[in-house]
């Protein structure tokens, strides 16, 4: 395969920063990267030494070259709800957002609790030849929370972990079985931490704003109760447990304590939980209705603190496409969720100014890749050439009509952000080029 040399780039790699003897700045340093046969062949001075005469040369013009994002929480809607999103439209959105690998939740129709559905998603992803598509399998049959799924067979067929998606595994005995079987497979269990009895009738976060709007509130305790319970179970079973989209100070404090005790626990959050608070629903704005709900300003600040001190390991888009008919309803009837594949990086660069570029890409790429045991997330030689080139200072306005996702349910419409993806590579192939689009 012909070589590609990306030169004059500001290289940002969290792994490289930690391991290289050569000093590197948190905001990257000027260098070059050589791609060959879909992998990173060499970097910096070595790249210039090993480049062939006929190599394709790309001048990065001083922009940031970083690992492509590994989005560990995406709803694809295919199969079953293709009017909301398809694998093809999700891949197009992902490429424009610098996402090179994404993991879909099992909440499709049919549910991903059978080997045939895992294989269908993998096959459709390969056919599109864009962003790499992985999937979780349902932890319980039909995501009903009653009987555990055929976890061994599902892992053998390619499932990266087990979760019931946006449904909590409510029964403690079932959760114990899930953790126990997953431990034997060294598989990740991903929990949506929201006590069903406290949350199922709620519309938004419990508090003054909900009272003023006349809406039913979901207490912050609904999240902390499940986290505390599952951490107790994890102590007894061992294995690896990951809490998705955490939103509250109490839950984060529980995770913080568990990490100090040495439990194999990790967690993520989504951009809307550190960019917005419950006031975003004032005016009954259904596009800001998500699950778990947007929380108080104090909890929003706690999420930012968790990102800064490392309690929160990863940032995922929590991409949840919904059509207009599902969103333009009275708020109690409207569906939860918002899209995020194209806006995650920009929202992080805009709102997490106290994190360096290396730290941001660690949470968006390096840590998710390590948790899921997949390639990517680094500019290390021998790794897949899954990369993005971005201008971290470029300002642009999010407009729902320009989103490549089939659904347009974003709460950030007409919001100005900073950081624009210019090119995306998957296995050394350019899958998105903003300049070509403009031309």
Residues known to be catalytic: 318
CA atoms of 120 and 215, how far apart (whole Å) = 40
Residues paired with residue 418 on neighbouring β-strands, in sequence order: 395
- Report residue 29: phi and psi, to 5°: -140, 155
Q: What angle do CA 322, 212, 304 make, to 5 degrees?
A: 60
Mode of pairing for the β-strands spanning 314-315 and 265-269: parallel
Q: Are 58 and 25 in contact (CB under 8 A)?
A: no
Mode of pairing for the β-strands spanning 240-243 and 161-163: unpaired
Q: Are 355 and 310 in contact (CB under 8 A)?
A: no
CA atoms of 92 and 378, how far apart (whole Å) = 22
Angle between helices 249-260 and 221-237 (to 10 degrees): 20
Residue 378 neighbours by CB under 8 Å, 6+ apart: 13, 14, 15, 16, 67, 365, 366, 369
φ/ψ region of 282 (left if φ > 0, alpha if ψ in -120 to 50, else beta) reads: beta
């Amino acid at each position: 395969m012909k070589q590609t040399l990306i030169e004059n780039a500001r290289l940002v790699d969290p792994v490289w920063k930690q391991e290289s003897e050569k000093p590197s700045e948190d905001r990257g340093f000027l260098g070059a990267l050589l791609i060959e046969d879909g992998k990173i062949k060499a970097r910096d001075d070595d790249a210039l030494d090993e480049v062939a005469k006929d190599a394709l040369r790309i001048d990065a013009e001083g922009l940031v070259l970083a690992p492509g994002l590994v989005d560990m929480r995406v709803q694809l809607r295919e199969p079953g709800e293709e009017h909301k999103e398809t694998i093809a439209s999700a891949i197009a959105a992902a490429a424009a957002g610098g996402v090179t690998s994404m993991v879909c939740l099992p909440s499709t129709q049919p549910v991903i609790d059978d080997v045939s559905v895992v294989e269908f998603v993998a096959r459709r992803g390969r056919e599109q030849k864009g962003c790499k598509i992985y999937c979780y399998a349902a932890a319980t049959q039909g995501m009903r929370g009653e009987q555990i799924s055929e976890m061994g067979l599902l892992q053998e067929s390619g499932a990266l972990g087990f979760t019931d998606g946006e449904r909590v595994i409510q029964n403690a005995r079932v959760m114990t079985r899930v953790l126990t079987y997953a431990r034997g497979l060294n598989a990740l269990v991903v929990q949506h931490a929201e006590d069903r009895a406290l949350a199922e009738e709620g519309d938004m976060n419990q508090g003054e704003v909900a009272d003023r709007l006349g809406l039913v509130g979901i207490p912050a305790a609904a999240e902390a109760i499940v986290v505390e319970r599952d951490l107790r179970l994890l102590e007894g079973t061992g294995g690896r447990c990951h809490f998705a989209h955490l939103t509250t100070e109490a839950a984060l404090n529980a995770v913080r304590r568990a990490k100090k005790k040495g439990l194999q626990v990790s967690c993520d959050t989504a951009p809307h939980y550190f960019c917005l608070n419950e006031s975003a629903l004032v005016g009954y704005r259904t596009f800001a209705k998500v699950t778990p709900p947007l929380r108080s300003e104090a909890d929003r600040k706690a999420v930012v603190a968790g990102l800064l001190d490392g309690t929160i390991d990863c940032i995922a888009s929590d991409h949840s496409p919904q059509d207009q008919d599902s969103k333009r309803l009275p708020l109690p009837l409207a569906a939860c969720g918002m899209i995020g594949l194209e806006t995650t990086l920009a929202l992080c660069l805009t709102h997490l100014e106290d994190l360096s570029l290396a730290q941001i890409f660690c949470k968006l790429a390096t840590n998710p890749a390590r948790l899921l045991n997949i390639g990517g997330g680094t500019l290390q030689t021998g790794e897949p050439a899954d990369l993005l080139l971005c201008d971290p200072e470029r300002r642009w306005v999010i407009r729902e009509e320009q989103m490549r996702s089939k659904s347009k349910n974003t709460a950030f419409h007409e919001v100005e952000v900073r950081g624009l993806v210019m090119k995306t590579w998957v296995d050394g192939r350019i899958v998105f080029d903003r300049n070509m689009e403009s031309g």
